[in-house]
Structure 1
C-alpha cells in the first residue's frame, strides 16, 4: 500500500491513545493509507517514537483526554499545524479488573472518565473540524459493549456507554453528512492484555470463555480492519468478524453469563482469591504517573 491514491490521501486523521498498542497500530495503518496523522496521548516519548515511524507530516500532542481545556487547545493547534481534521479515532482507554465491592473508587472512576468522558470530550473538540470536512468519527468499543462480564464492571460499563454515545452521535450528525462508526474489538495482543493475564482473576475469566471468544488477535490485524472501516466510513467494524453475530443474541447474553458465573466463580475463587488489579498495562501506569500518582 503506497498511500498515494486512496480516499485518505492528504486527509488529517486524529488518533487518541496513540503512544502504544491499538492506537499506535491504527496510526501507522492510517499513515500507510496516506493520511497525515495527529497523535494524542499521555506518553510523550512513545508518541514521538510512533510519529517518527510515520510518513509525511505526522505530529504528536501530549494531552489528557479527560481535560476539556487541554483537548480544546490541542484541537486548535492541530488545525493550525496540520489543517482541519477529517477523521477522528477515539481509542484512548484504560482497564482494571476485580470484584466491584473491593475495587478502589478512584481507579474505577478513572476507567469511566478516560473511556467514556474522554471519548465525549474528544468528539466535542473535533466536531467543528468534522462538520467542516464532512468527516468521520470512529469510536473504539469492545465485545464488552455487547455482553458484560463479571470482574470488569468499570470497563464493561464504559464500553457500553461509548457504544450508546456513538449511536446517539450518529443520529445527531447524519443530516450534516458526518459519519460515525463503532469498532468492536475482542482480546488484542497489547501490553494491557498481557498484563491482564498476570492476574488470576482476569486470566481465569478469559480462560473460561468459549474458545473463539478467548483468542487473542494481533494488533496489526485489528489496525487493518479499523483502517478499512475509516476508508469506507463504516457504521460498524468487528474484529474478529464473528462478533457481528453477537448483536443478534445480545439480549440473551446476560442471563447466560449470570448462570455460568454463578456456577464457576465460587470454584475459581477457591483456587485463587479475587483481588483488584489496579489500572492495567504500561498505559495505565503512565496515566497514573501523569496524574501525579506513584508508578506501580
Structure 2
C-alpha cells in the first residue's frame, strides 16, 4: 500500500522519546524526512537521541502530566519546527504486584502518565494538528483488551487510553484530524528487560501461550508503527498478528479468570509476589518525581523493600 500522505518536511512530536520505542519512532519519522520534537523528562538523554537523527531534532524537557508545561511545550515546538502533522503519545510507565498492597502514589502515577499524560498531550497539540489536518497516535497495549492480574494500574491505564483515543477520533474526524491506536505486545525496552527478575511478571508471561511470550525488538516494532503513521491508520498492531487477537477479545476475560482461579493460589503459595515499583530507567526517573529514592520499593507485605 502506498502512503496516504507525504511526511517529508513536516513536523512530528514523540513523547517518551529518551529511549526505547520513543527513540526508535523518532528515528523512523526522521528517516521519512520529518523534523522531530522529542519530549520527555531527561534533557541530556533526549539531546543524545536528537544528535543521531538525520533531520532536525528539537528537545523539550517536560512532564506530560503537567498541563501548563505541555501547553508551553506545544508553543515551543510550533515556534521552532512549525505546527505538528504527527503527534505520538508514547510516554508510559508500568509496575507489577498485588493491588491490595500497592503503593497508592505509584499506582496513581501509572494512571497519570499513561492516561492523563496522553490526554494532556492531545489537548496541547490539537490546535497544531487542526492546522495541518494531522494525525494523533495513541500507543496502547494488549493490556487494553487482555487485562491481567497483578498489573491493575497498567491495564486500567491502557484500557482508558484506548477508550480516550477512540472517543477523540469520533470528535475530531470532521475537522480532518486522524486518530489511531497502536496495540503493542512485549517489546524489548528497558521497561520489560527486567521481567524475569520479578516473580510476578515472570509468572505472568510464563503462563501465556508460546506465541504471546515472544519479545519483539524495538526496531521492528517501530517499523510497524511508522507504517501505521504512513497510512494514518485507525488501528496499528505490533506485531501484525495481534489483529487476529481482537476477534477473541470478548473471550479474554473468561480465559483470564479461569486461569487465575487455577494458578494464582498455587503461585502465591510458592512465591512472594512483591511490588516491582516503576520499571526501567524511565520508571526510576518517575520514582524520583514521587520523592522516593532509587531502590525504594513496596514489598508484597506492604512494607518498604
Same-fold call, TM > 0.5? yes
C-alpha deviation, 1:266, in angstroms = 1.5
The CA deviation string for residues 178-223 of structure 1, in whole angstroms up to 9 with x for no partner, is 0000100000001111123210110111011000111000011110
Gaps (5+ residues) in structure 1? 1-5
Contact 1:36 1:56 in 2 (8 A): yes
Shift, 1:289, TM fit? 2.2
For residue 57 of structure 1, report the CA deviation from its aligned partner: 1.6
Task: Verify: 1:46 aligned to 2:41, yes or no.
Answer: no
Q: Quick check: 2:95–2:275 contact (8 Å CA) kept in 1?
A: yes
Secondary structure of 1:66's aligned partner: coil
Aligned-partner SS, 1:59: strand
1:256 aligns with 2:259: no
CA distance in 2 between partners of 1:105 and 1:139 (Å): 25
2:61 alignment partner in structure 1: 62
The reply to whether residue 103 of structure 1 matches residue 102 of structure 2 is yes
The answer as to whether partners of 1:107 and 1:279 remain within 8 angstroms in 2 is yes
Structure 2 match to 1:31: 30
Q: Look up the match of 1:182.
A: 181
Once residues 40 and 116 of structure 1 are traced to their aligned partners in structure 2, the CA distance between those partners, rounded to angstroms, is 16
In structure 1, the partner of 2:123 is 124
- Answer yes or no: is the 8 Å Cα contact 1:42–1:290 preserved in 2: no
SS in 1 for 2:236: strand
Is the counterpart of residue 157 in structure 1 residue 156 in structure 2?
A: yes
1:273 aligns to 2:272 (yes or no): yes
Aligned to 1:3: none
| Contact 1:96 1:278 (8 Å CA) reproduced | yes
Spell out, residue by residue over 1:235-282, the C-alpha distance to the aligned partner (whole angstroms, 9 max, x if none).
111011111112212111101100001111122122211111110110
Shift of 1:291: 4.6
CA distance in 2, matches of 1:234, 1:49: 30
Residue equivalent to 1:223? 222
What does residue 19 of structure 1 align with? Answer: 18
The two structures have a TM-score, normalised by structure 2, of: 0.93
Work out whether residues 38 and 61 of structure 1, in 8 Å CA contact, stay in contact via their aligned partners in 2. Answer: yes
RMSD: 1.0
| Structure 1 residue 122: Cα displacement | 0.1
CA distance in 2, matches of 1:292, 1:86: 36
Distance across 1 between alignment mates of 2:218 and 2:9: 25
Give SS of 1:101's match.
coil
1:235 aligns with 2:234: yes
Q: Any idea what SS the aligned residue of 2:181 has?
A: strand
CA gap 1:48/1:34 in 2 versus in 1, 3 angstroms: same
Gaps of 5+ in 2: 296-305
Q: Deviations over 1:90-115 (max 9, x none)?
A: 00000000000010010000000000
Q: Residues of 1 paired with 2:137 and 2:288: CA distance? A: 28
